[in-house]
Structure 1
Amino acid sequence: MGGTCRRGVFPGGADMSRRLRDERVARMAAMATAALLSSCAPAGAPADNDRPRVSAQPVELFDGRVIPGMPELLGLRAQYELRLEWLAEKRALLLGQMRTHGIGMWIVVSEEFHQDPALYYVAPPLQYARRRDVMVFVDAGEDGLAAYSDYWRPTADYRRFFDPLPAARNARGIQDTPTGLRVLWERYEPATIGLAIGGNRGHDSSLTHDSYRFLADAMGPEAESRFVSAAPLIEEVFDTRLPGELEHYRQLVLATDVIAQTALSNVVITPGETQAEDIKWFFEHTIAELGVGGKPWFEIHVAVQRFNEASGEMILYIHPSPDDLVFRRGDIIHMDCGFDYLGFASDWQKVAYILREGEDDVPDGLKTALRNANIVHEAFATAPRPGMTGWEATLAIAAELEDVDFLPSLYSHPIGYHGHALGPAINARDMDLSSPPEWDSHLRAGSYRSIEFSATTEIPEYDGGTVRVPMEDDGYLTPDGYEYFRPYQTEWYLIR
């Protein structure tokens, strides 16, 4: 950034030869660097060619489990074009959402190194690197929604969604933002000005003190007296799904499932050798190799439950496991993973069992434990309804589980643009229903949810020790409950 561009020479004759020679030298240098880095890889880290990989085709394992083939995800440009289409559809909904929440003007302020979470969902998904960008959305009455921005270098795509602030530009093309904000205030005099303050999460409380003061000083004390929390509006913007998003999100969930199932198999795990951190790095490398700009949105990790046959006791369940933990036969592995793609996030937890010598299946007690988890899956699928509060949905699910002989624990959250997205929680840790949450909202039809919970069951083969089966599946809300994007796990993933 900030450099000058030279006009290139048409590639012909000597210029063409020189360019080809330079490219050849660059390739040779890159190959030499790669070889050097490979030779310096830390002990225990496999070379790139030796690392396990996912398959584009279905893979059948020794126990009959079939890992689906990795779906073909969209490249970066195709993602960008699709997100522009979705942005236009979401923009058409914004005026109605603002009126629902009584917001006459909504101001989004995004700062370099502190980007507002709404930025890429109210503006084109470009690379923003400016001290402060201001976007203003106004209910202009009969004229509909007006949208303004002081963005310094608007592309053609950006100009589709914003008019410039009504203010002059200096010699560098930078607008006088305070003057523009003041003009908008005087032109529209909105009854309320919504800001990202007063919410419950970073998504809806993102405005910094400095940016608040910037707005207040620019617009004046009367405008400041009309500043209100835009948190309910921001939640609705984030939690409202478009019909066209669903199948693309399903592909993200499928890709997550393929990586997780591959990680929880002998493709990646060799008992007595593979360490917990190897799972994390397999996931990291695999996402990078997809070439779709995806990345994990949290630290991928595993946890292990282990029964000590000699002592007859379960070892302490540590979540997450230490990086250097080596998987052993008889281990119960729980993996928690997810990644960003196409402006969305996935969140996924699955379990596997490493067969002991002489075993060809899991102990019957573990089969019961997984069936118990599936009972909770079904309660989520049947009990919640659009319009319920998170607490009402929690109580409805709890009623379905009232007579079970295991201990469920619910800790489900919305998902969508962010892994831990805005919206109501469905939460009853260890089925504690003693008090409703301090803050709650309503479930929206079509919204996505991370259906996250655990089921703890006594295992006879472990001398009555308990095993917790954590699960996390992504689903979407229908009039009849939650539909899962992928079939939930009903059989243990086996490793030998």
Structure 2
Amino acid sequence: MTLRLSTAAALLCAAFAAPSALAQTTAPPIIAMSDAEQAQPEMPRLLPMRERAEVIDRILAERLETVIPQIMREQGIDMWVLMAREYFEEPVIATMLDAESMSARRRTILIFHDPGEGRPVERLTVSRYGMGGLFEPAWNPDEQPDQWQAVADIVAARDPQKIAINFSDLSAFGDGMTLSQYRLMNAALPESYRERIVSGEDLAIRWLESRTPEEIAIYPGIVRIAHSLIARAFSREVITPGETTAEDVQWWYRDQLASLGLTPWFHPSIGIQRAGAEGMLEGKTVIQPGDLLWTDFGITYLRLNTDTQHLAYVLKPGETEAPGGLRAGLAATNRVQDHLLQAFATGLSGNEILARARAAAIADGLDPSIYSHPIGLHGHGAGTPIGFWDNQNGDPRGEYRVRANTAWSIELTSYNAVPEWGGQKVDFRSEEDAWFDGETVRFLDGRQTELTLIPAG
């Protein structure tokens, strides 16, 4: 049965209750969403690898049971054919592999078929290896050696009216079909079925962007992991002003993630803005008292991704707080966030949300740049972008419509002159992960509203 928003919300609330339904099964700690971010958050308990696999497979089974029927019927598609080769997984199949399948095996072909009349969607695998019991094996190579003919036989037996395969001019997530596989499949299909092939682009995006109740329940705890590591990175545990370089902090992140069995989906960034210095200083630059530090940091845990940007100030000797101009700059960025959150509405395109948010922020006297994006099974996730840092005027990729039950990285900046730095214009970047329930955007684990302070020593 397709979960409606009210049902999903009820399950989500139940997940936050104590004792929770999720607590009775293998699950990471469940942390309630909050608008306020903790200054020194504790690291949540991380699951051992076997338990991580149990969570991944349970969530995947739920997604296949609920999301697939919903999106196929929403898009009017009665058959979706996906295929990938070993070590060349297309984006969708990569998220459908069970936790013990590290990659596609030889050629993995997955077929979803909706027989209609409310009957369950068939999940078939045309491959030599199993798929964790999540797909029904539908090919016996001893009886039919030709894998492509096996696919053609499945198609003919079910006579679908629309056969979706993943090709797209705009979205990488919906463009997983390779030319060679398309040619081989077409050669096996009777001509009458070739004419029924349509793009699965929207199916791919809808599969990837849709979050289930359990995913949303565990997501704040995953973001908390990232926040706790950032808090340690921006502290005297890691940074000794006058000695530590920007790249020292980057590699501290990498070492910590390796020790915890976590994966970064991009190399962490550390930048330094300094009075009298132009732009962002990086690399071997030594961190000094009076610097404004910026980090961009993202992890993958239980197949969900985080993406966070925070700011810290290195106190000068005798200082107990950051200069007022720096504090005002972060406050201005928080106001840009507010305007963006208020611009969200189901059914609007990313371009429309961008235009609404920018207009409101500029009318508020702010100097914004907005470049937010979906997040979930990928860091820069499937769905509509809301601006790009190098394009604030809308983009063809931003025409896709925003849906409920989707997760977002609220990524943006405001530019502000800092009087204490001689009027120098400073870039106050921020990025916080959030959930859109169809009506309201809520931060998964709060947002930064005060600069992190690092003592000079």
State the TM-score bracket (shorter-chain normalisation): 0.7 to 0.9
Spell out the pairing of 1:333-352 with structure 2 (5 A cutoff): 333-352=293-312
Structure 2: distance between partners of 1:295 and 1:179: 39
| Aligned position for 2:263 | 295
- C-alpha displacement at 1:107, in angstroms? 1.0
Structure 1 counterpart of 2:363? 403
Conservation of the 8 A alpha-carbon contact between 1:117 and 1:206: yes
> In the alignment, which residue of structure 2 is the partner of 1:278?
248
5+ long unaligned stretches in structure 2 = 1-37
Q: Partner residue of 1:449?
A: 408
* Secondary structure of 1:385 counterpart: coil
**Counterparts of residues 31-46 of structure 1 (less than 5 Å):** none
Cα drift, residue 187 of structure 1? 0.8
2:87 corresponds to: 113
- What's the counterpart of residue 115 of structure 2? 140
* Residue in 2 that maps onto 1:359: 319
Structure 1 alignment gaps of length 5 or more: 1-64, 309-314
Counterpart of 1:83? 56
TM-score of the two chains, using structure 1 as the length reference: 0.79
Q: What pairs up with 1:96-495 in 2 under 5 angstroms?
A: 96-125=70-99, 126-128=101-103, 130-142=105-117, 143-154=119-130, 158-159=132-133, 161-169=134-142, 176-291=146-261, 294-308=262-276, 315-318=277-280, 321-427=281-387, 429=389, 432-433=392-393, 435=394, 437=396, 439-495=398-454
- Partner-residue secondary structure (3-state), 2:289: coil
Contact 2:226 2:298 in 1 (8 A): yes
Report the Cα distance in structure 1 between the residues aligned to 2:264 and 2:75, rounded to whole angstroms. 33
3-state secondary structure, aligned to 1:279: helix
Q: 1:480 to 1:130 in 2, by over 3 A?
A: closer
Is residue 275–residue 327 contact of structure 1 (8 Å, CA) maintained in 2? yes
Closer/same/farther in 2, CA of residues 109 and 255 from structure 1, 3 Å limit: same
The one-letter amino acid paired with 1:109 is M
1:321-374 alpha-carbon deviations (Å, 9 max, x no partner): 542121122211110000111011100000111122332221111111011011
CA distance 1:199–1:421, change in 2 (3 Å):
farther
Deviations 1:148-176 (A, max 9, x none): 11232326xx23x2222244437xxx963
Aligned amino acid, residue 196 of structure 1: N
Measure the CA separation in 2 of the matches of 1:112 and 1:83: 21
**1 CA distance for matches of 2:104 and 2:398?**
35
- 2:31 match: none
Contact 1:408 1:431 in 2 (8 A): no
CA distance in 2, matches of 1:438, 1:128: 29
- DSSP 3-state at the match of 1:469: strand
Q: Is the CA contact (8 Å cut-off) linking 1:383 and 1:393 kept in structure 2?
A: yes
Tell me by how many angstroms 1:470 deviates: 0.4
Q: Is this contact kept in 1: 2:412–2:429, CA < 8 A?
A: yes
Instruction: Indicate the SS of the match to 1:391.
Output: helix
Deviation of the 1:233 alpha carbon: 0.8
Structure 2 length normalisation: TM-score?
0.85
Partner SS state of residue 172, structure 2: coil
SS of corresponding position for 2:322: coil
The residue type paired with residue 264 of structure 1 is F
- Report the 3-state secondary structure (helix = DSSP H, G, I; strand = E; otherwise coil) of the residue aligned with 2:263: coil
**CA 96–175 in structure 1, closer or farther in 2 if over 3 Å, else same:** farther
Query: In 2, Cα distance between the equivalents of 1:351 and 1:381?
Result: 21
Note the C-alpha offset of 1:147: 1.8
In structure 1, what residue type is equivalent to 2:42?
A: G
Q: What SS does the aligned partner of 1:122 have?
A: coil
Deviation at 1:199, TM superposition (A): 4.7
- Alpha-carbon contact 1:416-1:448 (below 8 Å) kept: yes
What's the CA shift for 1:224? 2.7
Given that 1:408 and 1:430 are in contact with CA atoms closer than 8 Å, whether structure 2 keeps it comes out as no
- Specify the code of the residue in structure 2 equivalent to 1:297: W
3-state SS of paired residue (2:279) = coil
Is the 2:385–2:397 contact (alpha carbons within 8 Å) kept by the matching residues of 1? no
The alignment's C-alpha RMSD in Å is 2.2
| 1:390/1:424 contact within 8 Å kept | yes
Partner Cα separation in structure 1 for residue 362 and residue 227 of structure 2: 31
Secondary structure (helix, strand or coil) at the match of 1:367 reads helix
Q: Which has the larger radius of gyration?
A: 1
Deviation at 1:134, TM superposition (A): 0.7
How many Å separate the matches in 1 of 2:291 and 2:442? 31
Bigger drift between 252-261 and 161-170 goes to: 161-170
Alignment partners' CA distance in 2, 1:122 and 1:388: 29
State the Cα distance separating 1:471 from its structure 2 match: 0.3
Q: 1:31 — aligned with what?
A: none
Matched position secondary structure for 1:118: helix
Secondary structure of 1:451's counterpart equals strand
Alpha-carbon distance in structure 2 between the residues aligned to 1:401 and 1:285: 39
Letter in 2 for 1:456: Y
CA distances 1:430-462 after superposition (whole Å, capped 9, x unpaired): 8944x5645522222221000000011011112
% identical equivalent positions: 29
Equivalent residue letter for 1:148: L
- Greater shift after overlay, 337-346 or 135-144? 135-144
Over 3 Å counting, the alpha-carbon distance change for 1:190 and 1:129 in structure 2 is closer
SS in 1 for 2:372: strand
